Each structure stands twice: as structure tokens, then as C-alpha cells.
Amino acid sequence: MGRLDENHIRNGCRIAQAITRHYAKTFYFASFFLPLRARRASYCVYTLLRMSDEAVDNEQQNMAPQALEEIQNKIKSLYRRDTLRDCLLLACRKTMEDYAIPEKYFSEFLEGMRMDRVKSRYNNFEELSGYCYKVAGVAGLIMLKILNPGILSGEKQAVDLGIAMQLTNILRDIQEDLQRNRIYLPQDEMRKFAVTENSLRRGMVDEKFKAFMRFQIGRAREYFDASTAGIKTLNCPRIRLCVSAMKETYSGILRQIENNGYDVFAIRAHVPLIRKITGLPAILKGA
């Protein structure tokens, strides 16, 4: 690799870092516990996934398929020996090569993004969990390649953590998703708890909705608990700390939803930076 390529890759890593800092504040905070090489690689991966997500959320409906196709072609170019001139893509290619990240992971993620184009309701949790695997569980598998390279164990726990985080996002973002005419809540469970689409749109936080949310939060916590064993197998203490910080922050969002009386319509649950910092001693002890 020539000096010019090395400079381009460094510039690409800086671009990926800036994108991550802007869009993924929780992950960016936790990433500072990572060794530098893994940190840069994680920024590149996040940026690729973010580009795919943005293609679905922000493009006009008739343009989203074309945007996703362009993203897929860019990802394919990382795995071919095409000449790349884009600094960001060069940095991403180096990440794919250094950590032997399979192209199929990105293909599965893009399948999840395409689901958002054609599917806005989920009949049951089996359907929803399949979606969560593609858009978040696969991300866990990609990160496992970076955070525990060469180790074949821990895949199930990485998927569990990704799904737990996605379920947390779904509960936090019910109001935001409604504005896009999407409901990522199992329809059969909504009926079981007598929660309707109309009551969601009216922002009703009655006892039926609270019971429904307690059930959903309980399941998300089961996935968080299932991921714990995998975190303990990570070789590097700094990496264990990073993943533990992510897990604790997202678990904190669930607690905040509870503290807000399950009102996800008027208040968007989040964990303030000061609470993330003050929670570090307990995370350090557990990691």
C-alpha cells in the first residue's frame, strides 16, 4: 500500500468518525474505550450501515429503491478488486479485509432496509424478530468480527444484544415511527392488550398501554440478559467495557421509559451524558 493510499484511508476514517459522532452519540461515547484500530473500524462499519438506513428514511419514496441499489453497489465494490477513489470507501474496504467481514452480513442488512420499503406492520413477534435480526442482529455479528477477531464463539449473544437494542429503539420511537406510518409492534400482542392503532395515534397512556409496555420491556430485558455471557468472553478488557457501556446505556433507556410513566409520546426517553459518566464505576466493576 502506497503512502497516497494510506493518506486516503486515514481521511476516510476521519470522515467515518465525523458521521458517527453526529448520528450515534451513545455509540460514539462508548467507542472511546476501544483500542484505536478497532475504534476506526467500527466507525467505518457504522457509516456503511447508516448510509443504508438513511436511504430508506430520508429519500422520497420513489427514490429509495434507487438509493439502496447505489449503496449495495458501493458495498459490492469493497469486495471486488475495483479501483476505488473515494476515501471513505477505501477505509471501509480496509476494514472488511482486516477483519474478514463477510459480504453476506451487509446483504442481510440491506434486506432489512428493503423490508422498511414494503412492510409497515408486523403480525407477530416472529415476524418482528426476523426484521430485528436483519437490521440489528447482523450489526452485532459484524461488530463481533471487529471486537473479538478470530474467535468463533459468541455469535448468538452478539445477535441477542443487537436485537435487545433494536427492541429498545422501537419502544422509545413509537411516536416517531407513527409519523412515518410504521408500527414495529406485534399486532397480535396489541390486540391481546387491547392497544389499537388509533389509541397509539392519540397518544393514550392508559393502563392497557402500560401493561403492554411492561410486557415489551420485559422481553427486551430478556435479550439483554441473554447477551451477558457473550460480553464476558471478549478478550480485551477495554472492549468488554465498551460493549458493557452500550448495554447499560440502552438498558437505561428502558428504565427511563418506566420512570416517564411509559409516556413515549410526549417524552423521548434518553440517558443524559452525565448519567453515562456517573454510571461508569459500576460498569467498570461488572466488566
286 vs 80 pLDDT, higher one: 80
Instruction: Give which of 89, 232, 228, 227 is closest to 148, Cα–Cα.
Output: 232
Backbone angles phi, psi at 37, to 5 degrees: -60, -45
pLDDT of 193 > 70? The answer is: yes
Contacts of 178 (CB under 8 A, 6+ apart): 200, 201
57 vs 93 pLDDT, higher one: 93
pLDDT 10s digits, 52-74: 777 666 554 555 678 888 888 99
pLDDT of 133 > 60? The answer is: yes
pLDDT of 284 > 70? The answer is: no
Query: Tell me: domain 1-102, CATH 3.30.465.10, correct?
Result: no
pLDDT of residue 63: 53
Grid cell of 137 as nine digits: 442482529
Grid cell of 69 as nine digits: 441499489
Report residue 280's pLDDT band, with 50, 70 and 90 as the boundaries: very low
Kindly report the average pLDDT of the chain as a whole number: 89
Question: C-alpha angle 37/140/225, rounded to 5°?
Answer: 120
- Mean pLDDT of all residues in 92-116: 94
Report residue 106's pLDDT band, with 50, 70 and 90 as the boundaries: very high
Report residue 2's pLDDT band, with 50, 70 and 90 as the boundaries: very low
Report residue 259's pLDDT band, with 50, 70 and 90 as the boundaries: very high
- CA–CA gap between residue 164 and residue 187 (Å, rounded): 19
- CA–CA gap between residue 157 and residue 137 (Å, rounded): 9
Q: Give exposure, 250-272, as e/b (b: 16+ Cβ within 10 Å).
A: bbbbbebbeeeebbbbeeebebe
Q: Is the pTM of this model over 0.75?
A: yes
Report residue 287's pLDDT band, with 50, 70 and 90 as the boundaries: low
Grid cell of 94 as nine digits: 480496509
pLDDT of 276 > 70? The answer is: no
pLDDT of 279 > 80? The answer is: no
Q: Give exposure, 89-116, as e/b (b: 16+ Cβ within 10 Å).
A: bbbbbbbbeebebeeebbebbbebbbbb
* Dihedral class, residue 100 (left if φ above 0, else alpha if ψ from -120 to 50, else beta): left
pLDDT of 157 > 50? The answer is: yes
- CA–CA gap between residue 152 and residue 154 (Å, rounded): 7
> Under DSSP, is residue 174 helix (H, G, I), strand (E, B) or coil?
helix
> Domain spanning 119-287 has what CATH number?
1.10.600.10
Q: Where are the domains of the chain?
A: 1-102, 119-287
Contact 265, 201 (CB under 8 A): no
- Mean pLDDT of all residues in 195-203: 97
pLDDT 10s digits, 109-122: 999 999 988 899 99
pLDDT of residue 68: 84
Write the burial class of residue 4 (CB in 10 Å: 0-12 exposed, 13-18 middle, 19+ buried): exposed
Report residue 273's pLDDT band, with 50, 70 and 90 as the boundaries: low
Q: Which of 47-51, 151-155, 160-164 has the highest mean pLDDT?
A: 160-164
pLDDT of residue 285: 52
Lowest mean pLDDT among 62-66, 80-84, 171-175, 227-231: 62-66
Same fold, 1-102 and 119-287: yes
> Under DSSP, is residue 143 helix (H, G, I), strand (E, B) or coil?
helix
pLDDT of residue 57: 64
Neighbours of 167 (CB within 10 A): 26
